[in-house]
């Protein structure tokens, strides 16, 4: 069936029905009024972030299933809450789609998004559906974080050690293969635990690639950094897999993006203590240190502004 036959209100009804499976503790008033009402706890601020997913730009159905595309949309947006150390309160979805599109495809995308939202107890609380030539999901996620505990990009100081959760490069490798099957998990629980340590001076999630995102963190903190390329965590068999698709492993590690791991700087030399249930499923890698000056790659290849790899030491941004 085409969307044109189901109609705008029919589609909204179907989405609402799918969304009912997600309950959220912070929802005072959900879908269906002029606005939703969310409640943070006393002493909490509200985090808000918006992201867009456009067919042909951010997803293509010849590369991935509609459900995977939807998963990626929510994973990317919730990852921004993770990078703030926030717990999800809810999200809105503003959907643009041509009336000629297949209802099942559109609903599969939405269901994929709801799958990820459900895993993080983040209910759909509102949104919009409109006709468009373009198929687009505009997701706004809201979270809550204890005042003064939120993780910022600014705040890193020279000498703070740099850590990275999980391996990089998997998403870039799948895109290089022309087939996306795996969706990285937003590090919501880790971000909250890091916020509670009170020792994380700066944090960002890896969406554009560790090199670009480290540069964002450094710019916001007004510091430089030394990044140890050999210490960057990578999936098993990564180098061989890269060779098979004729891609440079370091390039995919450094610039691939959509990893949604957290890159953060820590004050002091004491180890970061995570709660036991999180420690069991989280690998933190020490990947460098914040420093005065520019951004330096240690024991890796040099990247030129034109994108080509070159043996060498470091590069300023």
Site of interaction with its own copies (CB under 8 A): 28-29, 32-40, 42, 45-52, 54, 56-58, 80-81, 83-84, 86, 90, 92-94, 96, 125-128, 130-134, 136, 138, 140-143, 145, 147, 150, 152-154, 203-205, 220
Q: How far is the CB of 290 from its own copies (least distance, A)?
A: 17
Nearer to its own copies by Cβ, of 36 and 173: the residue is 36
Three-state DSSP at 51 gives strand
Q: 65 or 94, CB closer to its own copies?
A: 94
CB of 42 to its own copies, least distance (A): 7
Specify burial of residue 314 (Cβ count, 10 A radius: 0-12, 13-18, 19+).
middle
- Which is closer to its own copies, CB of 67 or CB of 138? 138
To the nearest whole angstrom, how small is the minimum distance from the Cβ of residue 95 to its own copies? 8
- Between 33 and 310, CB nearer to its own copies: 33
Q: How far is the CB of 162 from its own copies (least distance, A)?
A: 17
Alpha-carbon distance of 121 to 88, in angstroms, equals 7
Q: Which is nearer to its own copies, 58 or 157 (CB)?
A: 58
Write the CA distances from 259 to 70, 144, 186, 234, integer angstroms.
Answer: 16, 23, 9, 11
* CA within 13 Å, CB half, 10: 11
* b/e code 199-218 from CB counts within 10 Å (16+ = b): ebbbbbbbbbbbbebbbbbb
Residue 315 to residue 317: CA distance in whole angstroms: 7
Nearer to its own copies, 35 or 270 (CB): 35
Cβ nearer to its own copies, comparing 142 with 232: 142
Per the CB < 8 A criterion, the answer to whether 142 and 245 are in contact is no
> What are the distances in angstroms from CA 315 to CA 184, 291, 296, 309?
29, 14, 6, 12
Name which of 152 and 228 has its Cβ closer to its own copies. Answer: 152
H helix intervals, 85-187: 103-119, 170-177
The first and second tokens of residue 16, run together, are 């609402």
User: What is the smallest separation between the CB atom of 215 and its own copies, expressed in angstroms?
Assistant: 12
| Residue found under tokens 């560790």 | 210
Closer CB to its own copies, residue 313 or residue 317? 317
Q: Which of 155, 146, 171 is nearest to 41 (CA)?
A: 146
Tokens 């179907």 -> residue = 14
- Tell the smallest beta-carbon distance from residue 107 to its own copies (Å): 19
Look at residues 168, 251, 235 and name the one whose alpha carbon lies nearest to residue 207.
168
Minimum distance from residue 123 beta carbon to its own copies (Å) = 12
State in angstroms the smallest separation of the CB of 26 from its own copies.
9
Q: Smallest distance from the beta carbon of 57 to its own copies, in angstroms?
A: 6
d(Cα 266, Cα 178) in Å, to the nearest integer? 37
Nearest-10 Cα torsion for 140, 208, 286, 151: -30
């Amino acid at each position: 069936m085409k969307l044109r036959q189901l109609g705008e209100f029919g589609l909204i009804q179907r989405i609402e029905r799918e969304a009912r499976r997600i309950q959220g503790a912070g929802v005072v008033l959900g879908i269906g009024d002029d606005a939703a009402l969310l409640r943070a706890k006393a002493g909490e601020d509200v985090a808000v972030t918006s992201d867009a997913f456009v067919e042909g730009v951010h997803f293509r159905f010849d590369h991935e299933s509609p459900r995977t595309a939807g998963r990626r949309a929510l994973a990317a947006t919730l990852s921004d809450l993770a990078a703030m150390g926030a717990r999800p309160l809810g999200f809105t979805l503003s959907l643009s789609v041509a009336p000629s599109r297949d209802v099942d495809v559109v609903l599969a995308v939405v269901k994929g998004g709801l799958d990820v939202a459900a895993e993080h107890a983040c209910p759909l609380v509102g949104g919009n559906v409109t006709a468009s030539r373009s198929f687009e999901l505009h997701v706004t996620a809201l979270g809550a974080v204890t005042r003064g505990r939120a993780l910022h990009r600014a705040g890193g100081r020279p000498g703070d050690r740099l850590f990275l959760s999980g391996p990089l490069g998997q998403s870039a490798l799948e895109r290089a293969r022309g087939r996306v099957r795996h969706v990285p998990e937003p590090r919501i629980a880790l971000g909250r635990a890091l916020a509670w340590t009170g020792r994380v001076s700066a944090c960002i999630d890896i969406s554009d690639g560790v090199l670009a995102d480290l540069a964002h963190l450094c710019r916001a903190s007004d510091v430089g950094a030394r990044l140890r390329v050999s210490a960057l965590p990578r999936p098993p068999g990564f180098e061989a897999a890269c060779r098979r698709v004729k891609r440079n492993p370091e390039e995919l590690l450094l610039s691939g993006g959509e990893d949604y791991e957290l890159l953060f700087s820590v004050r002091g030399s004491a180890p970061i203590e995570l709660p036991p249930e999180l420690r069991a499923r989280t690998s933190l890698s020490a990947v460098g240190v914040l420093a005065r000056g520019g951004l330096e790659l240690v024991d890796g290849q040099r990247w030129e502004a034109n994108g080509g790899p070159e043996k060498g030491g470091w590069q300023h941004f």
